[in-house]
Amino acid sequence: MEIFQGNDQAITRESLYGTHSEATYAGVTSFMRRRYSRDLTGVDLVVSGVPFDTATTNRPGTRFGPRAIRAASVQSAWERHYPWTFDPFDHLAVIDYGDCDFDHSQPQKTPAAIEAHAERILEAGCAMLTLGGDHFITYPLLKAHAKKHGPISLVHFDAHSDTWPDADDSQQGISHGTMFYHAAREGLVDPSRSVQIGLRTTNDDVMGFQVIDAREVHRNTPEIIAEMIRARVGDSPVYLTFDIDCLDPAFAPGTGTPVCGGLTTYQALEILRGLCGINLIGMDVVEVSPPYDHAEVTALAGATIAMEMVCLYAARHKIKA
C-alpha cells in the first residue's frame, strides 16, 4: 500500500491506479476513493450510479443507494481487499463516473436515458459496475450490454425471481419485478445459461432459468453453490447482478422488499469468490435503501459485494494465468 499525503483523492489523485491511505471519516466519498471523472481515456472499469427508485413495489429510498454505497466503501479503501491476494487497483484503471442523469419528471424516458448512459461507456471500451437504485435499472443496462456482447448469461442473486409478467401484458411497465421476464423474452439473456440464487418467493414459471433457492444454498457449502453456477454459465459472457435483498434482513435491513430466510453476508461473499474465472462483462449492486438501514450495515454489505465484483473482473481480464 502506498501512503498518500493528502485528502480528497476522488478529485486530487493523479493516477487511476493504486490504493492509498486517506482518513476514513473525511474527504470526498467516491467509490473506493477512485477519481471522479468523465474522461474515459485509458479506463478499464467505470463505476457509476443510477439513483432511480420509482419502479419499486414497496418501500422507496434506493435513489439514495449509490451515495450510501460510495460512503460505506471508504471504510475499506485504504487497503487491499481481503482476502484476495492482489490489489485490483494495481491492475485496473478505475474511475467513478458519477451518476446517470435523467429527468425525474418524465419517468417514461428514464429507461432510454439509462441505456444511453451505459452505451456511451461501453462504446469507449470500458466495463461497468453500476450502483443502484432499484432493480429495474438492470433491464436497460442489459439492453446496452447485449448490443455489444449478444445474448448474455445472467447470474442473479435475489430474494425474488423478477420474472413476473406485467399486469397488462399488452403494455410493458416500469417495475422492478418484471425486467427479467422481458429480458428473457427479448433474447437479452439466455435462460439456459443463466442462474438465480437465493430466491425465496413463489413464482412457478421459472422461464428456463436455473433456480438455486435460499433453502438449497443453506443446505450446501458456498463452494458447491459456486460450482453449480460455474457449470451453468461455462465461458459465456456473464452479467452479474446482486439485489441486496438476497441477504437475510438480519444482514441487510435497508432494502425495499425484505424477505426472511436469506443468505448471510458470509455465504454471499464466499459464493462470489468461488466464481473466480467466469467471463464477467458487466455487474451491478442494487436495492440498497438507506432510509431503512441501521448503522450503514446494508450499505457496507453493498460496497463489499461491489468490491468482490471488481476483484472478479480483474482476475478474469487482467490477471489470467
Residue 210 falls inside a structural domain: yes
Q: What is the pLDDT of residues 50-86, one digit of tens each?
A: 999 998 999 999 999 999 999 999 999 999 999 999 9
Q: What CATH number is attached to the domain comprising 269?
A: 3.40.800.10
- What pLDDT, on the 0 to 100 scale, is given for residue 320? 62
- What pLDDT, on the 0 to 100 scale, is given for residue 6? 67
- What pLDDT, on the 0 to 100 scale, is given for residue 319? 80
How is residue 32 annotated by DSSP? Answer: G
d(CA 131, CA 51): 8
d(CA 208, CA 219): 23
- What pLDDT, on the 0 to 100 scale, is given for residue 172? 84
Percent of the chain as helix, strand, coil, to the nearest 5? 35, 15, 50
Q: What is the pLDDT of residues 109-136, one digit of tens each?
A: 999 999 999 999 999 999 999 999 999 9
Nearest to 315 by CA among 31, 156, 91: 91
| Helices 138-149 and 110-123, axial angle in degrees (round to 10) | 40
- CB-based burial label for 164 (10 Å; 0-12, 13-18, 19+): middle
**Other Cβ atoms closer than 10 A to 167:** 9
d(CA 228, CA 222): 10
Residue 67 falls inside a structural domain: yes
d(CA 149, CA 298): 32
Q: Under DSSP, is residue 132 helix (H, G, I), strand (E, B) or coil?
A: strand
Q: Can you spell out the DSSP letters for 166-200?
A: PSSTTS----TTSHHHHHHHTTSB-GGG-EEES--
Q: How many domains does the chain have?
A: 1
Residue 3 falls inside a structural domain: no
- CB-based burial label for 172 (10 Å; 0-12, 13-18, 19+): middle
Does residue 83 have a cis peptide bond before it, meaning omega lies within 30 degrees of 0?
yes
Residue 4 falls inside a structural domain: no
Pinpoint the alpha helices (H) of the chain: 9-12, 65-73, 110-123, 138-149, 179-185, 214-219, 222-233, 265-273, 297-317
Q: Which domain holds residue 13?
A: 9-317
Nearest to 75 by CA among 2, 13, 22, 16: 22
For cell 467516491, name the residue.
30
First CA to last CA distance, the chain? 24
Low-confidence ranges of the chain (pLDDT < 70): 1-6, 170, 320-321
Residue 21 falls inside a structural domain: yes
Strands 127-132 and 280-286: parallel
- What pLDDT, on the 0 to 100 scale, is given for residue 170? 65
